[in-house]
Amino acid sequence: MPALRPGPQSGREERRARRADLARFFGTWIRKPLSLGAVAPSSATYCATMAAAASTHLDGPILELGPGLGVVTRALLAKGVDPARITSIEYDADFARTLRERFPRVNVIRGDGFDLDQTLGDGGATRFAAILMAIPVVSKPQAERQALFRRYLDRLVPGGNITQLSYLVTPPVKPIEGVFEVSSTPIVWDNIPPARVWIYRKTAALAH
Protein backbone atom coordinates (compact mmCIF):
# COMPACT_ATOMS: atom_id res chain seq x y z
CA MET A 1 0.00 0.00 0.00
CA PRO A 2 1.47 3.42 -0.90
CA ALA A 3 2.31 5.78 1.95
CA LEU A 4 -0.41 8.25 2.79
CA ARG A 5 0.42 11.85 1.94
CA PRO A 6 -0.89 14.86 3.82
CA GLY A 7 -3.90 16.35 2.07
CA PRO A 8 -4.21 19.99 1.02
CA GLN A 9 -6.09 20.82 4.20
CA SER A 10 -3.40 19.39 6.51
CA GLY A 11 -0.71 21.16 4.48
CA ARG A 12 -2.50 24.49 4.87
CA GLU A 13 -2.96 23.88 8.59
CA GLU A 14 0.74 23.13 8.99
CA ARG A 15 1.74 26.32 7.18
CA ARG A 16 -0.74 28.30 9.26
CA ALA A 17 0.70 26.83 12.47
CA ARG A 18 4.23 27.72 11.37
CA ARG A 19 3.21 31.30 10.65
CA ALA A 20 1.53 31.51 14.06
CA ASP A 21 4.70 30.23 15.76
CA LEU A 22 6.80 32.73 13.85
CA ALA A 23 4.53 35.58 14.96
CA ARG A 24 4.64 34.43 18.60
CA PHE A 25 8.40 34.00 18.56
CA PHE A 26 9.05 37.35 16.91
CA GLY A 27 6.68 39.08 19.32
CA THR A 28 8.57 37.62 22.28
CA TRP A 29 11.88 38.65 20.73
CA ILE A 30 10.61 42.23 20.33
CA ARG A 31 9.49 42.38 23.98
CA LYS A 32 12.42 40.50 25.54
CA PRO A 33 15.29 40.29 23.03
CA LEU A 34 17.92 39.28 25.58
CA SER A 35 15.90 36.28 26.74
CA LEU A 36 16.11 34.44 23.40
CA GLY A 37 19.04 32.89 21.59
CA ALA A 38 17.38 33.13 18.17
CA VAL A 39 15.34 35.73 16.30
CA ALA A 40 12.95 33.21 14.73
CA PRO A 41 12.16 29.49 14.96
CA SER A 42 14.92 27.56 13.20
CA SER A 43 14.23 25.87 9.87
CA ALA A 44 13.57 22.13 9.60
CA THR A 45 16.91 21.69 7.83
CA TYR A 46 18.77 23.51 10.58
CA CYS A 47 17.01 21.55 13.34
CA ALA A 48 17.81 18.25 11.62
CA THR A 49 21.45 19.35 11.34
CA MET A 50 21.60 20.16 15.04
CA ALA A 51 19.94 16.90 16.05
CA ALA A 52 22.29 14.93 13.79
CA ALA A 53 25.38 16.60 15.31
CA ALA A 54 24.31 15.95 18.92
CA SER A 55 25.79 12.90 20.66
CA THR A 56 22.39 11.32 21.29
CA HIS A 57 23.74 7.83 20.48
CA LEU A 58 25.36 7.74 23.91
CA ASP A 59 23.49 6.40 26.91
CA GLY A 60 21.90 8.95 29.21
CA PRO A 61 19.42 11.82 29.24
CA ILE A 62 19.50 14.67 26.75
CA LEU A 63 19.31 18.33 27.77
CA GLU A 64 17.80 21.13 25.69
CA LEU A 65 18.50 24.70 26.76
CA GLY A 66 16.20 27.30 25.22
CA PRO A 67 13.93 25.00 23.17
CA GLY A 68 11.57 27.86 22.33
CA LEU A 69 8.48 26.35 20.71
CA GLY A 70 10.04 22.94 20.18
CA VAL A 71 11.45 22.89 16.66
CA VAL A 72 14.66 21.12 17.73
CA THR A 73 12.67 18.92 20.12
CA ARG A 74 10.65 17.76 17.13
CA ALA A 75 13.87 17.04 15.20
CA LEU A 76 15.19 14.93 18.09
CA LEU A 77 11.99 12.89 18.09
CA ALA A 78 12.21 12.49 14.30
CA LYS A 79 15.75 11.15 14.83
CA GLY A 80 14.25 8.44 17.02
CA VAL A 81 15.14 9.82 20.44
CA ASP A 82 12.78 8.59 23.17
CA PRO A 83 10.97 11.69 24.51
CA ALA A 84 11.40 10.35 28.04
CA ARG A 85 15.15 10.96 27.66
CA ILE A 86 14.71 14.69 26.96
CA THR A 87 14.76 17.45 29.57
CA SER A 88 13.96 20.87 28.09
CA ILE A 89 14.67 24.00 30.11
CA GLU A 90 12.78 27.05 28.83
CA TYR A 91 12.93 30.48 30.48
CA ASP A 92 9.78 31.93 28.88
CA ALA A 93 6.69 30.77 30.78
CA ASP A 94 4.37 30.93 27.75
CA PHE A 95 6.78 28.89 25.62
CA ALA A 96 7.16 26.35 28.45
CA ARG A 97 3.37 25.86 28.62
CA THR A 98 3.24 25.30 24.87
CA LEU A 99 6.07 22.76 25.05
CA ARG A 100 4.22 20.76 27.71
CA GLU A 101 1.12 20.69 25.52
CA ARG A 102 3.01 19.65 22.39
CA PHE A 103 5.39 17.15 23.99
CA PRO A 104 3.67 15.65 27.04
CA ARG A 105 6.33 12.95 27.50
CA VAL A 106 9.24 15.42 27.49
CA ASN A 107 10.35 16.74 30.87
CA VAL A 108 9.80 20.49 30.39
CA ILE A 109 11.14 22.76 33.13
CA ARG A 110 10.46 26.47 33.27
CA GLY A 111 13.78 27.83 34.50
CA ASP A 112 17.18 29.36 33.86
CA GLY A 113 19.47 27.39 31.57
CA PHE A 114 22.45 29.42 32.76
CA ASP A 115 22.14 27.94 36.28
CA LEU A 116 21.65 24.20 35.93
CA ASP A 117 22.30 23.36 39.58
CA GLN A 118 19.50 25.68 40.69
CA THR A 119 17.09 24.79 37.89
CA LEU A 120 17.57 21.02 38.02
CA GLY A 121 18.00 20.89 41.79
CA ASP A 122 20.26 17.85 41.49
CA GLY A 123 23.44 19.21 43.05
CA GLY A 124 25.25 18.72 39.75
CA ALA A 125 24.77 14.95 39.81
CA THR A 126 23.00 14.37 36.47
CA ARG A 127 25.24 13.55 33.50
CA PHE A 128 23.83 14.08 30.01
CA ALA A 129 24.59 12.31 26.75
CA ALA A 130 24.21 15.60 24.87
CA ILE A 131 23.36 19.24 25.49
CA LEU A 132 21.63 21.21 22.73
CA MET A 133 21.50 24.92 23.36
CA ALA A 134 19.92 28.04 21.94
CA ILE A 135 20.16 30.42 24.88
CA PRO A 136 21.71 33.90 24.47
CA VAL A 137 25.23 33.14 25.67
CA VAL A 138 26.66 35.94 23.49
CA SER A 139 25.10 38.45 25.88
CA LYS A 140 27.87 37.54 28.34
CA PRO A 141 31.59 38.45 28.25
CA GLN A 142 33.85 35.84 26.67
CA ALA A 143 35.45 34.78 29.98
CA GLU A 144 32.00 34.11 31.46
CA ARG A 145 31.00 32.11 28.38
CA GLN A 146 34.08 29.93 28.71
CA ALA A 147 33.49 29.36 32.43
CA LEU A 148 29.86 28.49 31.71
CA PHE A 149 30.82 25.97 29.04
CA ARG A 150 33.36 24.33 31.33
CA ARG A 151 30.49 23.72 33.76
CA TYR A 152 28.26 22.40 30.97
CA LEU A 153 30.99 20.06 29.73
CA ASP A 154 31.40 18.68 33.24
CA ARG A 155 27.72 17.71 33.00
CA LEU A 156 28.33 15.37 30.04
CA VAL A 157 29.01 11.65 29.97
CA PRO A 158 32.38 10.69 28.42
CA GLY A 159 32.29 11.45 24.70
CA GLY A 160 29.27 13.74 24.95
CA ASN A 161 29.05 17.09 23.20
CA ILE A 162 27.37 20.48 23.29
CA THR A 163 25.70 21.68 20.10
CA GLN A 164 24.97 25.39 19.87
CA LEU A 165 22.84 27.52 17.58
CA SER A 166 24.73 30.54 16.25
CA TYR A 167 24.56 33.05 13.41
CA LEU A 168 28.21 34.00 13.97
CA VAL A 169 31.04 33.03 11.61
CA THR A 170 33.43 32.41 14.51
CA PRO A 171 32.79 30.31 17.64
CA PRO A 172 30.62 32.19 20.15
CA VAL A 173 32.66 30.50 22.88
CA LYS A 174 36.37 30.37 22.13
CA PRO A 175 38.06 27.04 22.86
CA ILE A 176 40.51 26.73 25.74
CA GLU A 177 43.62 24.77 24.82
CA GLY A 178 43.82 21.55 26.77
CA VAL A 179 40.27 21.95 28.13
CA PHE A 180 37.76 21.92 25.28
CA GLU A 181 37.73 22.15 21.49
CA VAL A 182 35.19 23.34 18.95
CA SER A 183 34.18 22.48 15.40
CA SER A 184 31.18 23.39 13.27
CA THR A 185 28.82 22.19 10.58
CA PRO A 186 28.58 24.00 7.24
CA ILE A 187 26.28 27.02 7.15
CA VAL A 188 22.60 26.16 6.76
CA TRP A 189 21.45 28.73 4.24
CA ASP A 190 17.70 28.11 4.42
CA ASN A 191 17.58 29.24 8.04
CA ILE A 192 16.52 32.80 8.98
CA PRO A 193 19.18 34.16 9.32
CA PRO A 194 21.62 31.57 7.93
CA ALA A 195 23.30 29.74 10.79
CA ARG A 196 25.62 26.91 11.67
CA VAL A 197 25.88 24.46 14.54
CA TRP A 198 28.94 24.83 16.76
CA ILE A 199 30.03 21.60 18.43
CA TYR A 200 32.01 21.61 21.69
CA ARG A 201 33.82 18.66 23.25
CA LYS A 202 36.31 18.15 26.03
CA THR A 203 39.81 17.63 24.72
CA ALA A 204 40.81 13.98 24.41
CA ALA A 205 42.93 14.00 27.58
CA LEU A 206 39.94 15.15 29.67
CA ALA A 207 37.17 13.24 27.92
CA HIS A 208 37.18 10.26 30.29
Q: For residue 203, what pLDDT is reported?
A: 94
Question: Domains of the chain, with CATH numbers?
Answer: 8-206 (3.40.50.150)
What rounded mean pLDDT belongs to the chain? 85
Question: Nearest-CA neighbor of 88 among 96, 98, 80?
Answer: 96
Query: CA–CA separation, 26 vs 173, rounded Å?
Result: 25
Question: Nearest-CA neighbor of 167 among 38, 28, 29, 30?
Answer: 38
Q: Global pTM? A: 0.82
Q: For residue 22, what pLDDT is reported?
A: 54
Q: For residue 121, what pLDDT is reported?
A: 93
Work out the average pLDDT over 116-135: 94
Query: CA–CA separation, 86 vs 76, rounded Å?
Result: 9
Query: CA–CA separation, 30 vs 178, rounded Å?
Result: 40
Residue 134 has pLDDT above 50, yes or no: yes
Residue 1 has pLDDT above 50, yes or no: no
Eight-class DSSP state of 1: -
- What's the pLDDT tens digit per position in 63-111? 999 998 899 999 999 999 999 999 999 999 989 999 999 999 999 999 9
Work out the average pLDDT over 120-136: 94
**Residue 126 main-chain phi, psi, to 5 deg:** -70, 135
- What's the pLDDT tens digit per position in 99-113? 999 999 999 999 999
Between the alpha carbon of residue 208 and those of residues 159, 161, 198, the distances in Å are 8, 13, 22
- What's the pLDDT tens digit per position in 145-178? 999 999 999 999 999 999 998 888 999 999 999 9
Query: CA–CA separation, 157 vs 74, rounded Å?
Result: 23
Between the alpha carbon of residue 183 and those of residues 29, 39, 57, 120, 199, the distances in Å are 28, 23, 19, 28, 5
